[in-house]
Structure 1
């Protein structure tokens, strides 16, 4: 792994070998810890969050994200009937692209159809399956780690050589802050998101007893393959109106329209652990997905058997299939411009 100024990291206690890729590349796990005892463990395979430990009001510590104990399980998870993408960075384009194709500047690009004839989460070999470089680490207050990825021109058939940077910061307010930046050598489409499955009672339980709030009046209408039709559904009197908190539903795999760069756009609340997670983003939607199923094939961390309602994702992002809808927010990153995205997950004890 090309780690810049590697000596800079040698004194880090939380820096250890996590596994070795099939091409012999070494994957490392890095730990960020704040002064309250909150800890995040992140590997450079997919810039993936493998563990997020939160101190509770009763003195216990709970790991609130699903994941695996070893690299091999992450590699094998892509062979499951539907890959879970535990804790990973999704790109080049999060969500679905209809008919695995889009147009830029009157040129059509044909992608890999890895989901019912459509492209899901960047294709067969998206950003979550790549080894990222570590470009910076800071310690002390608000410790952070920055990962970098060079996605080649025509990687998964997307145009342009894309340089991506993702900085994770663990703030002293018990926030996990994600800041993405990207530039391209050719006009391209981009939509990055984070795919942690959260469970505030611990990664080994069930989220259906959690309550959820989403500050959204509309969600995207989709067809039977979960492709946006271009229409929005008004959530007034709808089962998926979460402007008043209610229990997490199952199943759910829907994109909600949000538009606040300063206020909370979603919350997850557990009465059992007395914990609340608040989500902030500058993105136009949050895709909510309850899942985690490993089909009794792979075991999760600590030998846990994950099931279809083990966790819930808050995927802050642009609209799925935006490249194919003129009325959707812009998804094109032009040569010479910079993509920026910011998302924050904040954890608070309720009493």
Structure 2
């Protein structure tokens, strides 16, 4: 099935923040053709699984209703060459059994970690699935990234995408409440990939949802040490045993964790002496402000990605544990072959009263917006 919309628009190759990133901008007048291609590719848990290809005439995004996974993002470099810029598996059915690293997945009910796999709400303690030592990671053993979501295509004047719904039942992985989550993923004529999570519950619970794409703007030709990274955050939440935050909020200025100005990722990895897997504080409190939180650049290809989110934090992860992993196009992924920027609430927030709250009560709505904007730097 194909859905097409034709229009003439101005395609922004690089947007905003010139004063912060020193990025020059250019506008190209181009005819944009918005198109969705839908293909049934298999079944899982007796539900049909589809691959959706979003195409705006300049770049393409492939995603699937299995796990809400973004399986490919294909963008042009400075010479117009189209390449995939996220770690991927060869086919959508491969994700059914081979996606240990959460490549491209929608993660929840709670992205990141909850310490000791338990939390207390209104005096009641809930024990949830342990799947990361003594802790819970990304929602437990079978989180949202391995569920088949109900999906339908959607279109607007300047965007086209997919709306997905997943009903998480009371007690799933130990979490309370029947939680209904809707995920919108849309590609715009401005080369923005927009994500919006919305959740409601019938019983007080906790929720923290994000996308877990692994980015490599080189077209995945090797590691990401040659990438430049800027994160608009002045602090991190240091972690102790099991990567569980201590509760402290620590300033990054002058430390190895400081990306407030653009830094070469390889130099920062060398300074750290290990890979990054840290939560950066982009806000001190919850709000609906869509804030620019990061810029990633790759000078060789000229590609640039800007990341926006309404969440109070972003987890920087440099694929430290991805080793000898058979990926798409015959490539074998190794440590530091990608970086994840996972916009989300702070880890272990349900057990840290001084962290922004992740609780959701009946009658309330959880909303998290994420935008990835792709372009090419013009020097």
- Pair in the same fold by TM > 0.5: yes
Measured against aligned partners, the alpha-carbon deviations of 1:19-45 in whole angstroms (never above 9, x if no partner) come to 332x3432110011114x211100111
CA pair 185-32 structure 1, distance change in 2 beyond 3 A: same
| Comparing 253-262 and 308-317, the one that deviates more | 253-262
The answer for the alignment partner of 1:26 in structure 2 is 48
The answer for the alignment partner of 1:102 in structure 2 is 119
How do 1:285-296 residues align onto structure 2 when only pairs under 5 Å count? 285-291=313-319, 294-296=322-324
| Comparing 245-254 and 317-326, the one that deviates more | 245-254
Aligned partners of 2:2 and 2:38 also within 8 Å: no
Q: Secondary structure at the match of 2:95?
A: helix
Displacement of 1:225: 1.2
How do 1:259-270 residues align onto structure 2 when only pairs under 5 Å count? 259=283, 261-270=289-298
2:279 to 212, 236, 255: 255
The answer for the alignment partner of 1:207 in structure 2 is 224
The answer for the alignment partner of 1:141 in structure 2 is 158
Q: Secondary structure at the match of 1:156?
A: helix
Measured against aligned partners, the alpha-carbon deviations of 1:290-338 in whole angstroms (never above 9, x if no partner) come to 1175543x52111211111111111000011000011100100001111
2:366 to 333, 339, 342: 339
Displacement of 1:263: 4.3
Aligned partners of 1:84 and 1:292 also within 8 Å: no
Distance 2:157 2:321 in 1: 37
Distance 1:9 1:147 in 2: 17
Displacement of 1:135: 3.6
2:256 to 226, 236, 239: 239
Distance 1:70 1:224 in 2: 36
CA pair 136-14 structure 1, distance change in 2 beyond 3 A: closer
Distance 2:304 2:138 in 1: 28
The answer for the alignment partner of 2:336 in structure 1 is 309
What is the TM-score normalised by the length of structure 2?
0.85
The answer for the alignment partner of 1:161 in structure 2 is 178
Aligned partners of 1:293 and 1:310 also within 8 Å: no
1:50 to 68, 71, 76: 71
What are the ranges of 5 or more consecutive residues in structure 1 without an aligned counterpart? Answer: 1-6
Aligned partners of 1:18 and 1:43 also within 8 Å: no
Distance 1:269 1:224 in 2: 32
Aligned partners of 2:36 and 2:161 also within 8 Å: no
How do 1:79-158 residues align onto structure 2 when only pairs under 5 Å count? 83-138=100-155, 141-158=158-175
Displacement of 1:70: 2.1
Displacement of 1:207: 0.9
CA pair 208-18 structure 1, distance change in 2 beyond 3 A: farther
Measured against aligned partners, the alpha-carbon deviations of 1:5-62 in whole angstroms (never above 9, x if no partner) come to xx997997621122332x3432110011114x21110011111000101122202012
1:17 to 40, 51, 65: 40
Measured against aligned partners, the alpha-carbon deviations of 1:193-224 in whole angstroms (never above 9, x if no partner) come to 11000000013421111010011110001103
CA pair 124-87 structure 1, distance change in 2 beyond 3 A: same
Distance 2:361 2:2 in 1: 35
Measured against aligned partners, the alpha-carbon deviations of 1:106-157 in whole angstroms (never above 9, x if no partner) come to 1100011111100000000000010001044226631121111000111111
Distance 1:317 1:170 in 2: 21
Distance 1:293 1:117 in 2: 19
Distance 2:39 2:301 in 1: 30
Distance 1:141 1:263 in 2: 21
1:228 to 245, 270, 295: 245
Distance 1:209 1:151 in 2: 41
What are the ranges of 5 or more consecutive residues in structure 2 without an aligned counterpart? Answer: 6-34
2:94 to 73, 93, 98: 73
Q: Secondary structure at the match of 1:344?
A: strand
Displacement of 1:262: 4.5
